A and B are shown apart, each in its own frame.
Chain A
Amino acid sequence: MGDILGLVAKRLGLGLVTLLVVSVLIFFAVELLPGDIAQAVLGQMATEETLAKLREEMGLERPAVVRYLDWLAGAVTGDFGTSLIDGEPVTAKIADRFVSTLFLAAYAAVIAVPFAIALGIVVALLRNSIFDRVANVVTLTSISSPEFFLGYILILYLAVKWSMFPAIASLSSGMTFLELLERTFLPALTLVLVVTAHMMRMTRAAIINLLASPYIEMARLKGAPPWKVIVRHALPNAWAPIINVVALNLAYLVTGVVLVEVVFVYPGIGQLLVDAVAKRDFPIVQACCLIFAATFILLNLAADVGAILTNPRLRHPK
């Protein structure tokens, strides 16, 4: 166990370094965009005079490095600064949106992960049957289609033609949890369709891979039924690659929802990020990207820890 804690500590340290590098990259990427925030705010009607005035108000006349270090000094103490546009604290602007995004991701994950793994086990069991082929074709088709296209198809049938679910997932205060689940069902379903194939196929491949092993043959010879061979004997050894893929897809659920948010008018963090980039509102871009980066780092760490915990050989090294 001590080894795992050591590993976690080491990885978290490296994660912080990664975040620092990411923040530098993002700052200078935003700097490289043509035009600046004053121009983006004033638009076509900008004059040199009003531009200069606004730049001064926003503190843009200071050199880029100074502005970055200023921001970094704040960030280290947990102060991510204020929006350049309206001066509101970044944390206040992001908090609600991030909770919404996490909710949608969790909703999709709760459906997608068990569904994909169960489906993977079933198709491994019935490999090369018609069911296996159909499941593969359907899931591969849905992962190959862009999210917005899947979203439109679902809207067309489930919302417009059959009126089963609302077409837009706008949230309002005073909604019950069940209403919330109904409102956000279509975006969640879209995300489920997008991430299922990857997890399902990894489960299938990892299990089928093991089926050639001598110990599986042994299980078969002793007369265990096929489902038991797979669930009791093959699956425990297949967890490591599956967990890896699940973690990757969970990260995708948090970071890859921008298009789904736009199509379903869901007030999440993706829309906030797009707006902030368009307006060059650097503190918000920075905070959103760091959240995304941190999501990836933490979920990858979780995947590695999970892989170790499910593998006795890694848990008890010689």
Chain B
Amino acid sequence: MNQNSPTAGGIIACPITIELNGQTRQLEVFPWTTLLDLLREQLALTGTKKGCDHGQCGACTVLLNGRRINSCLTLAVMHDGAELTTIEGLADGDSLHPMQAAFVKHDAFQCGYCTPGQICSAVGMVSEGRAQSLGEIREQMSGNLCRCGAYPNILAAIEEAMPETRKTLGAVQTDAQKGVREVQP
């Protein structure tokens, strides 16, 4: 903390360092700022959406240390040293992540507002390795609301992108590999 740190309401911002979409970022955040508001308001990474601010809709889902999390329900200051991937960090340059490409192909959205959260959640779900059937995908994607009602297309996109997404996870150990449950090849 230094004397030039911003203040608000008499409170001084706290320094944190995060690995954000592959880049090391040194930031100063107020203790009340959620991870979601940090991304949207401070870092202009507005791909992560705010739909309810209560962890009820999933639009704010990001990957924190490889796991999906509702970024509206966690304070940024708690994540010093964390590795964070947002929708802006999924594509490889101009080349879409397999999950993103499948969402376009299957028209797995309409208005697009829940879409970044759906995609991050789907990638996180694949990494968890627990979804073995369409019914389980439906169940494990039910934290992400889509008011446009594109659920059948979301399901089709995820089903198609699962194998490729597993490959992109590469060396990252899935929950299943850690012994949560056996995963199909």
- Tell me if chain B binds chain A: no
Which residue numbers of B lie inside 8 Å of A, CB to CB?
A: none
Q: Which A residues are closer than 8 A to B by beta carbons?
A: none
